[in-house]
């Protein structure tokens, strides 16, 4: 994926940004967005799981631009959150709507989508819609529209 990926603007906000270059930028991205879900893909840019997830996120960016903004964070270049958020998987996606939104995917963790890359764009849109609806209602935990307990396991 090209590091100068698509940058479309809506109200002077980036819909899809290639990378956040520092921990400060990550914090600012979360704090500055009041009406949309902030999607952060943490991972290793060269990893196949991260690249698959990046393609999916890129593919849905236009569809979700009214309620979500997507950023990529390379955990090798921005290690600030690795310990605090337990970012040890090659690809982890976290959601924020003014604060961290956890999602129950019927998997081992509810804090994030980790250690798997989603390649289904429609499912990603549905997850983002679910996170947005829950976050806008003040919920800190939302339940995935599908059960992923047996999908994307290795």
CATH number of 51's domain: 3.40.30.10
2 in a domain, yes or no? no
What is the full DSSP assignment across 88-136? Answer: -SSEEEEEESSSEEEEE-SSS-SS-EES-----HHHHHHHHHHHHHHHH
Structural domain that includes position 123: 9-143
3 in a domain, yes or no? no
48 in a domain, yes or no? yes
Domain count, the chain: 1
22 in a domain, yes or no? yes
151 in a domain, yes or no? no
Give residue-wise pLDDT tens across range 47-57.
999 999 999 99
148 in a domain, yes or no? no
**Coil, strand, or helix at residue 4?**
coil
pTM of model > 0.85: no
Give residue-wise pLDDT tens across range 115-127.
667 899 999 999 9
């Amino acid at each position: 994926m090209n590091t100068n990926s698509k940058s479309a603007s809506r109200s002077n906000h980036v819909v899809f940004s290639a990378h956040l270059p520092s921990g400060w930028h990550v914090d600012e991205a979360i704090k500055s967005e009041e009406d949309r879900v902030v999607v952060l893909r943490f991972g290793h840019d060269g990893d196949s799981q991260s690249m698959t997830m990046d393609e999916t996120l890129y593919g849905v960016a236009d569809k979700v631009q009214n309620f979500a903004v997507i950023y990529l964070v390379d955990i090798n270049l921005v290690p600030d959150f690795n310990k605090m958020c337990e970012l040890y998987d090659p690809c982890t996606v976290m959601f924020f709507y003014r604060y961290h939104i956890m999602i129950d995917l019927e998997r081992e963790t509810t804090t994030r989508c980790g250690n798997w890359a989603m390649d289904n764009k429609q499912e990603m849109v549905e997850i983002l819609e679910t996170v947005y609806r829950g976050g806008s209602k003040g919920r800190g935990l939302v339940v995935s529209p599908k059960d992923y307990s047996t999908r994307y396991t290795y």
